[in-house]
Amino acid sequence: MAQERPSRVERRLSAILAADVAGYSRLMHHDEEGTHAKLMTLLMEAVYPAIAEHGGRVVKNTGDGFLAEFASAVEAVRAAMQFQTRTHELTIDEAKDDRIAFRAGINIGDVIVEPHDIFGDGVNIAARLESIAEPGGICISSSVHDHVRGKIGVEFADLGEQNLKNIALPVRTYAVVRDGPSSATQVERASQGPLSTPRLSIVVLPFVNLSGDPEQDYFVDGVTESLTTDLSRISGSFVIAGDSAVSYKGRPVDVRQVGRELNVRYVFEGSVQRSGKRLRMNVQLIDARSGQHLWAERFEKPVVNLFDMQDEIVSRLANTLGAQLIVAEARRAERTLHPDAMDLYFQGRAWLMKGFSPEDVTQARSFFERALEFDPGNVEAMIGLATVDTAIGSSFTTDDGPARFAAAEAMVNKALSIRPNYTSAHSARGWVQIFTNRAAQGIREFEHALALDSNRANSHAALGFAKFYLGRAAETEGHIREALRLSPRDVEAYQWTCFVGVAKLQLVLDVEAVNWLRQSTEANRNFPLAHLSLAAALGLTDALDEARTAARTGLALNSGFTIRRFVAAQQSDNPAFLAGLKRTCEGFRLAGVPEG
């Protein structure tokens, strides 16, 4: 029997237009039926007629948007301009917060054609361009710009190379400038951003080689390139591609000018000097608008293996910079008169980075909840709330731990349904599983997070803590040391050293436990669990006066802590874990911790 030949895949070169409604989740949350009705009216009266008039076809609707295909890039841009103008006319009398506005992205690509859909990188790029457009705006790729330049009566603002989500290479992007081809003020306004400078936007300038040895350039360039890649993994970050940054190599720069030219908020620069068998590196994070130095660090290490050293330096910088950028964004948000969802999220994260005191988590919850009021689909704020509930449930201050963990897990699951590969969501799920007698599943979540980002220090630390719950406390220290290698000055390092301390108690290594727990209390004197665990360890070493002092400090920070609540919250049936739990409670009693 002759083998049936596969049907030929239909392909064609098309101009692809992707559009959606800016802030659709917020609009639907406030008025579901009204928003739906207004959207349908705009589609019928503004969008569909414009697409048809310019020879396009609507491929499919996407709930809050649509995908359209044109045979001509010129006609695609003209159609987008027409329906944006008509939409503005139809909504001009509405309150700004209730107004529907489309964002549009246009690209040219070779697409796979099916009866009711089109596929390919060209489609994906159009969708990503739409996501960076301003409400009411149009972003186009350089390929579209090449076809329409000089053929349409508008000007275009060059936004430079953009790193678009899940697109391997940077895409040169332009924004359509409305209201007349010669309007200098409009061009200026567009050049300031779609037109505003993105949050968490940063360029890593080529590091300067101070060694005077050209052979060291490969190492310096490697650090710059790897750091650019690692920073791009930070959720919500906007990192300028290395090909753009390298244009500044070898010449003095004004960081404020760099910020204007690349439309970024932050500039990261550094220098490397090798002297004999030692390597010295100085780095600084700078506010591109003011030129103010926000953070600086100096590294000095013996040269053993340059490539291993490069990996270690990049990991340390990426982990530290992630925290520093959140702090910087939170400070900006505090000065914002009309904060949006991400402004509020950054402020919530800044509170959690201070610690997990009742005030810290209460303030953080307030910001995350307000962020979700603005944008119910904000995944970052969802994980923030889940972290708050997990922290409260595991703080031994409440009897409703199971309800807190259930709420946290529901929020994590919702976040993962929106963004399946969001690293922080997998870590958050792992923490809930640790505290609900599913530490083995938690380990799989942390391993998944590390598969997505191998330099994620807190996931290494979490692995060590999960193994403690499985009675494998001997493995905890190794994971914590790896976390500290990757991020030795991490804002969470005080928790990690506490993890090792409680693991040592399980192993009946009480003196070692005391040493690790002292490190934790010295790193953060407002972490009650470290003081209370130190009290137990000191009690078991017969240092009773010190034990009682540590217990009083811990109870002053967490007045609701009791041995009964501590035992009730420990969800593990592992015999080694339970034996360690029993010893810890003996130490609590010796230190004077109340039974409850």
- What is the DSSP track for 254-289? -HHHHHHHHT-SEEEEEEEEEETTEEEEEEEEEETT
Q: Which residues pair with 201 in a beta bridge?
A: 238
Average pLDDT over residues 437-461: 92
Average pLDDT over residues 84-89: 91
Which of 258-272, 319-333, 414-428, 548-562 is predicted with the least confidence, judged by mean pLDDT? Answer: 319-333
Question: CA 451, CA 441: separation in Å to the nearest integer?
Answer: 15
329: CB partners within 8 A, 6+ apart: 199, 200, 342, 343, 346
**What's the confidence (pLDDT) of residue 467?**
97
pLDDT at 215 over 80: no
Are β-strands 155-162 and 278-287 bridged in parallel, bridged antiparallel, or unpaired?
unpaired
**Residue labelled with tokens 């599913």:** 438
**What's the confidence (pLDDT) of residue 9?**
75
pLDDT at 154 over 90: no
**What's the confidence (pLDDT) of residue 533?**
97
SS3 sequence of 572-592: CCCHHHHHHHHHHHHHHHHHC
Question: CA 521, CA 123: separation in Å to the nearest integer?
Answer: 53
Which residue would you say has higher pLDDT here, 340 or 525? Answer: 525
Instruction: Report how far apart, in Å, the C-alpha atoms of 593 and of each of 61, 480, 556, 571 are.
Output: 62, 28, 11, 21
Question: CA 320, CA 295: separation in Å to the nearest integer?
Answer: 10
Ordered by where they begin, the domains of the chain are: 11-191 (3.30.70.1230), 201-329 (3.40.50.10610), 336-454 (1.25.40.10), 471-596 (1.25.40.10)
Given pLDDT bands bounded at 50, 70 and 90, which one contains residue 294?
confident
386: CB partners within 8 A, 6+ apart: 407, 408, 409, 411, 412, 415, 428, 432
Average pLDDT over residues 404-423: 93
Given pLDDT bands bounded at 50, 70 and 90, which one contains residue 97?
confident
Beta carbons of 537 and 587 less than 8 angstroms apart: yes
Which of 325-339, 524-538, 550-564 is predicted with the least confidence, judged by mean pLDDT? Answer: 325-339
Any idea what the Cα angle at residue 533 is, between residues 532 and 536, rounded to 5°? 90
Chain segment 247-284, per-residue pLDDT in tens: 788 778 888 888 888 888 889 898 888 777 777 888 88
DSSP sequence for 203-242: EEPPPEE-SS-GGGHHHHHHHHHHHHHHHTTSTT-EE--H
pLDDT at 399 over 90: no
**What's the confidence (pLDDT) of residue 208?**
87
Given pLDDT bands bounded at 50, 70 and 90, which one contains residue 167?
confident
Tell me whether residue 97 is exposed, middle or buried, using C-beta atoms within 10 angstroms of its C-beta: 0 to 12, 13 to 18, 19 or more: exposed
pLDDT at 230 over 80: no
DSSP 247: G
Tell me whether residue 187 is exposed, middle or buried, using C-beta atoms within 10 angstroms of its C-beta: 0 to 12, 13 to 18, 19 or more: middle
Chain segment 108-137, per-residue pLDDT in tens: 998 998 878 888 889 999 999 998 888 899
pLDDT at 358 over 90: no
Kind and range of the H or E run holding 379: helix 379-393
pLDDT at 309 over 70: no
Question: CA 564, CA 59: separation in Å to the nearest integer?
Answer: 62
Q: Which residues pair with 16 in a beta bridge?
A: 69, 107
pLDDT at 139 over 90: yes
**What's the confidence (pLDDT) of residue 308?**
64
Given pLDDT bands bounded at 50, 70 and 90, which one contains residue 307?
low
pLDDT at 2 over 70: no
**Residue labelled with tokens 């700004």:** 96
> Strands, E, within 257-392: which ranges?
266-275, 278-287, 293-302
The widest CA-to-CA distance across the chain, in whole angstroms, is: 90
**What's the confidence (pLDDT) of residue 191?**
41
Which residue would you say has higher pLDDT here, 405 or 166? Answer: 405
**What's the confidence (pLDDT) of residue 187?**
39
CA neighbor of 521 nearest in space, from 541, 551, 564: 551
Which residue would you say has higher pLDDT here, 509 or 293? Answer: 509
Question: CA 555, CA 593: separation in Å to the nearest integer?
Answer: 8
Instruction: Report how far apart, in Å, the C-alpha atoms of 51 and of each of 67, 82, 496, 551 are.
Output: 11, 9, 57, 71
Question: CA 69, CA 55: separation in Å to the nearest integer?
Answer: 9
DSSP 98: G
Average pLDDT over residues 19-26: 87
| Residue 530: both structure tokens together | 């470290």
Given pLDDT bands bounded at 50, 70 and 90, which one contains residue 209?
confident
Question: CA 406, CA 386: separation in Å to the nearest integer?
Answer: 9
Question: CA 430, CA 448: separation in Å to the nearest integer?
Answer: 10
Question: CA 64, CA 21: separation in Å to the nearest integer?
Answer: 6
Task: Characterize 25-49 residue by residue with b for buried, 16 or more Cβ atoms within 10 angstroms of its Cβ, and e for exposed.
Answer: bbbbbeeeeebeebbeebbeebbbe
Average pLDDT over residues 544-561: 94
Percent of the chain with pLDDT over 70: 92
Given pLDDT bands bounded at 50, 70 and 90, which one contains residue 381?
very high
pLDDT at 336 over 70: no
Average pLDDT over residues 32-50: 91
Question: CA 164, CA 156: separation in Å to the nearest integer?
Answer: 19
pTM score of the predicted model: 0.59
**What's the confidence (pLDDT) of residue 194?**
41
CA neighbor of 191 nearest in space, from 170, 172, 174, 171: 174
* Torsion angle in degrees (nearest 10) through CA of 289, 295, 300, 305: -70
**What's the confidence (pLDDT) of residue 220?**
78
Which residue would you say has higher pLDDT here, 221 or 337? Answer: 221
> Strands, E, within 371-492: which ranges?
none
Beta carbons of 227 and 316 less than 8 angstroms apart: no
**What's the confidence (pLDDT) of residue 75?**
94
Instruction: Report how far apart, in Å, the C-alpha atoms of 379 and of each of 235, 319, 372, 417 are.
Output: 10, 21, 9, 10
pLDDT at 105 over 80: yes
Beta carbons of 358 and 352 less than 8 angstroms apart: no
3-state secondary structure of 197: coil
| Residue 516: both structure tokens together | 């690790």
Instruction: Report how far apart, in Å, the C-alpha atoms of 122 and of each of 11, 117, 118, 346, 535 are.
Output: 12, 13, 10, 33, 61
Given pLDDT bands bounded at 50, 70 and 90, which one contains residue 192?
very low
Which residue would you say has higher pLDDT here, 157 or 315? Answer: 157
pLDDT at 357 over 70: yes
| Residue 119: both structure tokens together | 């596929």
| Residue 232: both structure tokens together | 């791009």
Which of 60-74, 175-189, 397-411, 553-567 is predicted with the least confidence, judged by mean pLDDT? Answer: 175-189
Tell me whether residue 74 is exposed, middle or buried, using C-beta atoms within 10 angstroms of its C-beta: 0 to 12, 13 to 18, 19 or more: middle
Average pLDDT over residues 85-100: 87
Average pLDDT, the chain: 86
> Strands, E, within 317-424: which ranges?
none
Chain segment 453-503, per-residue pLDDT in tens: 887 889 999 999 999 999 999 999 999 999 998 888 788 899 999 999 999
